[in-house]
């Protein structure tokens, strides 16, 4: 369990950098300006998985395509921001580079932490908030095995990145077939019974903020279609959207569902 932290906290997930080049012409500059805001406020940032569509650390090679973003995160750390990274299902093989060279606090499973005295469970959500479709879980188990990692490392990086794109496409297709809601509700209820005040998840791409058994759950959404993110400050967890048309923070718009769930629109 992490020690208590304070101050404004932001949550973002699922940029999948490298997967959607046309979208990234808009999404990446907007994310950079969002990071400017976080840095100006000296806030802390939780990246809740799949910032990149594929990540593999060779011993002496770093992929080129995420360089500007990783350099930007490094600058934030150097200027006093705490940046946490919770690994997602596309973060297949994480080594020491993101921690030692970029300066991110890395967690490969989940975080059990306190913010302003409130207990948070923070996880990407893969394998937790899904129904667990068998083919998808088998693919995940294979990709995360040491044997596959060792064999992949023997490939030339240019060949490896082409194969990585194919693997990521397969993972996205499998993930998109899952029906998330039933297990998501049950999972939040189980976390409520364990004493968590808040549950924060990525992975599902559809932003939501709802409550189960006095525990508030934030599903962050993505930075592909929604440009959504979470903010926790003064005991209040909010779901907000970075408006592309105005390129500035704008109040979220919610619609209430019959279940009492509030969804970003």
Helical (H) or strand (E) element with 256: strand 254-256
Work out the mean pLDDT of the chain and round it to a whole number.
81
Q: Is residue 1 part of a domain?
A: no
Contact 243, 255 (CB under 8 A): no
Residue 119: helix, strand or coil by DSSP? strand
Q: Is residue 208 part of a domain?
A: yes
Q: Which of 263, 261, 224 is nearest to 14 (CA)?
A: 224
Q: How far apart are CA 214 and CA 247, in angstroms?
A: 34
pLDDT of residue 221: 95
CA distances from 61 to 11, 75, 95, 161, 166 (A): 29, 21, 12, 12, 20
pLDDT (average), residues 122-139? 67
Contact 215, 135 (CB under 8 A): no
18 pLDDT more than 90: no
Q: Please report which confidence band the pLDDT of residue 258 belongs to, taking 50, 70 and 90 as the band edges.
A: very low
- CATH number where 46 lies: 3.60.21.10
**In the chain, how many domains are there?**
1
Contact 142, 212 (CB under 8 A): no
Q: How far apart are CA 131 and CA 145, in angstroms?
A: 22
Q: Is residue 4 part of a domain?
A: no
Question: Domain range holding 237?
Answer: 9-264
21 pLDDT more than 50: yes
pLDDT (average), residues 63-88? 92
131 pLDDT more than 60: no
Q: Is residue 3 part of a domain?
A: no
Q: Is residue 201 part of a domain?
A: yes
Q: Is residue 191 part of a domain?
A: yes
Count of residues making up the chain: 265
Q: How far apart are CA 2 and CA 86, in angstroms?
A: 13
**DSSP per-residue letters across 25-81:** HHHHHHHHHHHHHHHHTT-EEEE-S-SBS--B--SS---STTHHHHHHHHHHHHTT-
Contact 1, 112 (CB under 8 A): yes
Which has more pLDDT, 182 or 243?
A: 243
Q: What residues contact residue 200 under an 8 Å CB cut-off, 6+ apart? A: 11, 46, 48, 120, 121, 122, 123, 217, 218, 220, 230
How do residues 146-181 score in pLDDT, each as one tens digit?
776 677 777 777 777 677 666 666 555 555 554 444
pLDDT (average), residues 71-79? 96
Q: Please report which confidence band the pLDDT of residue 242 belongs to, taking 50, 70 and 90 as the band edges.
A: very high
CA angle 49, 51, 53 (to 5 degrees): 100
Q: How far apart are CA 97 and CA 66, in angstroms?
A: 13
User: HSE-up of 96 (CA within 13 Å, CB side)?
Assistant: 3
């Amino acid at each position: 369990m992490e020690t208590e932290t304070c101050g404004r906290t932001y949550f973002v997930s699922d940029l999948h950098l490298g997967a959607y080049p046309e979208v990234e012409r808009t999404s990446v500059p907007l994310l950079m300006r969002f990071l400017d805001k976080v840095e100006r406020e000296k806030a802390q940032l939780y990246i809740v998985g799949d910032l990149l569509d594929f990540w593999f650390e060779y011993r002496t090679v770093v992929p080129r395509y995420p360089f500007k973003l990783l350099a930007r995160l490094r600058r934030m750390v150097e200027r006093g921001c705490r940046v946490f990274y919770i690994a997602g299902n596309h973060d297949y093989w994480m080594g020491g580079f993101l921690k030692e060279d970029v300066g991110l606090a890395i967690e490969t499973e989940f975080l059990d932490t306190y913010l302003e005295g409130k207990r948070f469970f923070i996880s990407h959500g893969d394998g937790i908030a899904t129904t667990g479709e068998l083919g998808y879980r088998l693919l995940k188990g294979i990709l995360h095995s040491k044997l596959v990692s060792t064999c992949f490392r023997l490939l030339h990086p240019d060949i490896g990145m082409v194969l990585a794109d194919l693997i990521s496409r397969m993972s996205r297709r499998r993930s998109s077939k899952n029906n998330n809601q039933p297990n998501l509700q049950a999972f939040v209820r189980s976390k409520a019974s364990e004493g968590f005040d808040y549950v924060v998840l990525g992975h599902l791409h559809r932003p939501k903020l709802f409550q189960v058994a006095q525990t508030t759950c934030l599903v962050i959404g993505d930075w592909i279609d929604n440009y959504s993110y979470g903010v926790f400050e003064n005991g209040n967890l909010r779901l907000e959207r970075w408006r592309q048309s105005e390129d500035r923070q704008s109040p979220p718009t919610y619609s209430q569902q019959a279940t009492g769930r509030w969804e970003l629109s």
